[in-house]
């Protein structure tokens, strides 16, 4: 093996198999093709392409399998990596030789053959050897025998004579042991043949990284969270108080590890919410999909309080359309409620909370705003009416833009929070809630006889559009009742608001108008 620039001796053309020998098990078990699952921000497909480009390939023929669309979406023209990419469909039963003949390659030149499902850990350092007439396969030693990595530098003549399909196990033997081969032994490649291989690949990448603890940009890690090397934390990740992360943990960008979660030997894929106090050991998690390697099971966890997929940046959910329609339909009710509440001062209730001695502005206690409703009869704006007028209706605009969800609890990532206008950011930043938010749901939970309460709880525990619509209908009904029964300041609050906010009637709190 020689360290050199291979471009001067090889053809500068590569063949990349995306449905090759190792891409047949557990593929898409986590919702996307395994070669596109990011391992420390870069998928195996990307790593394979980068290796080929570094080895001098400027034109890469990509053989597409079942997962053609996502592969093409990811690679595009290849310009990002400084190469040209051509796409060809490869029938699973088609032989490699026939496929190569279709490409019209010159028989006398050498071409890189690569399998995206298993990729060498280190950049390729192979110089074309004129003595190896057929080719130079890259192999690794599993302790008993030499195994083919799916990679090698082969002559066009040899490739055109391979009459086996890429998924055929006998192809590996041919590519490794055929006469006039000069195999190179490398370290075991990264692989996505099984999910256990994926987890092991993450561990090996962590062991190979320059710093034991890698933290990317714009992360928020709570001072009480603990990280144990080796660990990789992607961009825009948030780690909550008391969380324990590591060793051997890789967290993808935009993920949110909530308070008290304990992660060891685990891969968290990008934009994934990991709930409070969860325990993960030997796990790969992507959105709601959880792969437990020891149990050899992939399961979906539908409870958004445990696992969830955070909405990617810029994605407008289907609720956006509903939000827009509601904004139009509810405009008359909004203006009616504005008229109804004219002259009312807006109250920002507060409660007395003692602060640490050094932070006290005056002896005793300071007033800190809390999300408690004002509770003095005769001086109370209709609770749901005010919620509708000042929170729900203006918030529909953010629902349309995909920044907020209509009904909580729905996790959102920091990137989504950052796009909110400041006043909404203060209200909703980092909380798992929607417009009909946790405050309303919790109060409903305290009064389970109420129909609104049962709908709210059903909506919180199910991901069912019918439950959402039912809750919305009930909510708007109560708002209407509030607005009909409550007049301007000075009237008593309605029966509906009393039922929903019953658990705070006796709370002793102070208030100050804005």
Partner 1 sequence: MQLDIEKIQDGQGAIVTIRSENLDAGNVKAFKDRMIPVLEDHQSVLLDMSGLTFVDSSGLGALLSCLRTVNNKKGQLKLFAMAKPVQALFELVRMHRIFSIYNTRDEALAAL
| Cis amide leading into 122 (omega within 30) | no
Q: Which is nearer to partner 1, 236 or 288 (CB)?
A: 288
Estimate to the nearest angstrom the gap between the alpha carbon of 66 and the chain centroid: 23
Q: How far is the CB of 302 from partner 1 (least distance, A)?
A: 7
Among 79, 163, 279, 505, binds partner 1 (CB under 8 A): 279
| Of 113-121, 165-173, 292-300, 395-403: span binding partner 1 (CB under 8 A) | 292-300
Q: How far is the CB of 292 from partner 1 (least distance, A)?
A: 4
By the rule CB under 8 A, 278 interacts with partner 1: yes
Q: Which is nearer to partner 1, 295 or 355 (CB)?
A: 295
Q: Which is nearer to partner 1, 374 or 455 (CB)?
A: 455
By the rule CB under 8 A, 407 interacts with partner 1: no
Name which of 180, 187, 97 is nearest 135 in CA terms: 180
Long-range contacts of 331-338 (CB under 8 A, 24+ apart): 333/388, 333/393, 333/476, 333/479, 333/480, 333/483, 334/388, 334/389, 334/393, 336/483, 337/385, 337/388, 337/389, 337/393, 337/479, 337/483, 338/389
CA-to-CA separations, 290 to 148, 286, 463, in angstroms, rounded: 31, 7, 18
By the rule CB under 8 A, 297 interacts with partner 1: yes
Q: How far apart are CA 444 and CA 498, in angstroms?
A: 11
Among 42, 76, 177, 281, binds partner 1 (CB under 8 A): 281
Q: How far is the CB of 435 from partner 1 (least distance, A)?
A: 22
DSSP per-residue codes, 124-168: P-----TT-SSEEEEEEE-SSSEEEEEEEEEEHHHHHT--S-TT-
Mapping DSSP to helix (H, G, I), strand (E, B) and coil, where does residue 436 land? strand
Tell me, by CB under 8 A, how many residues bind partner 1. 20
Q: Which is nearer to partner 1, 204 or 276 (CB)?
A: 276
By the rule CB under 8 A, 205 interacts with partner 1: no
Q: How far is the CB of 241 from partner 1 (least distance, A)?
A: 18
Among 82, 92, 123, 302, binds partner 1 (CB under 8 A): 302
By the rule CB under 8 A, 290 interacts with partner 1: yes
The DSSP H or E segment spanning 467 is helix 465-485
By the rule CB under 8 A, 461 interacts with partner 1: yes
Q: Which is nearer to partner 1, 71 or 283 (CB)?
A: 283
By the rule CB under 8 A, 292 interacts with partner 1: yes
Name which of 56, 27, 29, 232 is nearest 118 in CA terms: 27
Residues of the shown chain interacting with partner 1 in the complex, contacts defined by CB under 8 A: 277-281, 283, 290, 292, 295-297, 299, 301-303, 305-306, 458, 461-462
């Amino acid at each position: 093996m020689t360290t050199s620039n291979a471009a001067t001796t090889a053809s500068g053309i590569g063949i990349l198999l995306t449905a090759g020998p190792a891409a047949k098990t557990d593929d898409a078990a986590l919702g996307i093709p395994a070669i596109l699952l990011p391992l420390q921000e870069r998928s195996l497909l990307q790593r394979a392409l980068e290796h080929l480009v570094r080895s001098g390939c400027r034109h890469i023929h990509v053989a597409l399998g079942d997962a053609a669309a996502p592969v093409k979406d990811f690679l595009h023209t290849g310009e990002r990596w400084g190469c040209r990419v051509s796409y060809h469909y490869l029938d699973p039963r088609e032989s490699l030789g026939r496929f190569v003949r279709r490409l019209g390659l010159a028989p006398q030149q050498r071409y890189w053959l690569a399998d995206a499902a298993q990729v060498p850990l280190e950049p390729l350092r192979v110089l074309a050897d004129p003595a190896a007439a057929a080719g130079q396969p890259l192999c690794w030693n599993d302790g008993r025998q030499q195994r083919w990595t799916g990679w090698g530098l082969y002559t066009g003549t040899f490739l055109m004579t391979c009459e086996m399909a890429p998924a055929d196990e006998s192809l590996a033997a041919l590519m490794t042991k055929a006469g006039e081969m000069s195999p190179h032994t490398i370290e075991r490649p990264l692989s996505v043949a099984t999910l256990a291989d994926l987890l092991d690949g993450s561990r090996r990448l962590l062991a190979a990284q320059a710093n034991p603890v890698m933290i990317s940009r714009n992360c928020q890690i709570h001072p009480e969270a603990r990280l144990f090397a080796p660990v990789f934390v992607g961009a825009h990740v948030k780690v909550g108080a008391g969380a324990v992360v590591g060793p051997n943990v890789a967290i993808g960008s935009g993920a949110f590890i909530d308070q008290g979660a304990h992660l060891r030997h685990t891969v968290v894929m990008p934009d994934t919410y990991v709930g409070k106090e969860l325990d993960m050991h030997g796990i790969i998690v992507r959105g709601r999909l959880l792969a437990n390697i020891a149990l050899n099971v992939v399961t979906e966890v539908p409870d958004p309080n445990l696992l969830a997929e955070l909405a990617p940046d810029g994605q407008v959910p289907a609720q956006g359309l509903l939000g827009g329609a509601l904004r139009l339909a509810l405009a008359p009710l909004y203006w009616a409620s504005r008229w109804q509440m004219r002259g009312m001062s807006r109250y920002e209730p507060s409660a007395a909370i003692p602060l640490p001695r050094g932070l006290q502005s005056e002896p005793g206690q300071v007033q800190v705003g809390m999300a408690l409703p004002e509770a003095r009869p005769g001086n109370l704006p209709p609770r749901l009416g005010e919620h509708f007028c000042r929170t729900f209706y203006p918030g529909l605009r953010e629902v349309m833009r995909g920044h907020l969800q209509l009904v909580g609890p729905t996790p959102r990532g920091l990137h989504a929070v950052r796009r909110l206008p400041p006043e909404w950011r203060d209200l909703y930043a980092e909380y798992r809630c929607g417009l009909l938010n946790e405050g309303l749901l919790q109060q409903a939970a305290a009064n389970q006889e109420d129909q609104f309460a049962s709908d709210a709880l059903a909506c919180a525990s199910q991901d069912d559009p019918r439950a959402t619509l039912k809750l919305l209908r009930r909510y708007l009904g109560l708002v209407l009742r509030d607005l009909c029964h409550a007049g301007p300041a000075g009237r008593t609050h309605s029966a509906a608001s009393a039922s929903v906010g019953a658990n705070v009637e006796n709370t002793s709190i102070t208030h100050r108008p804005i």
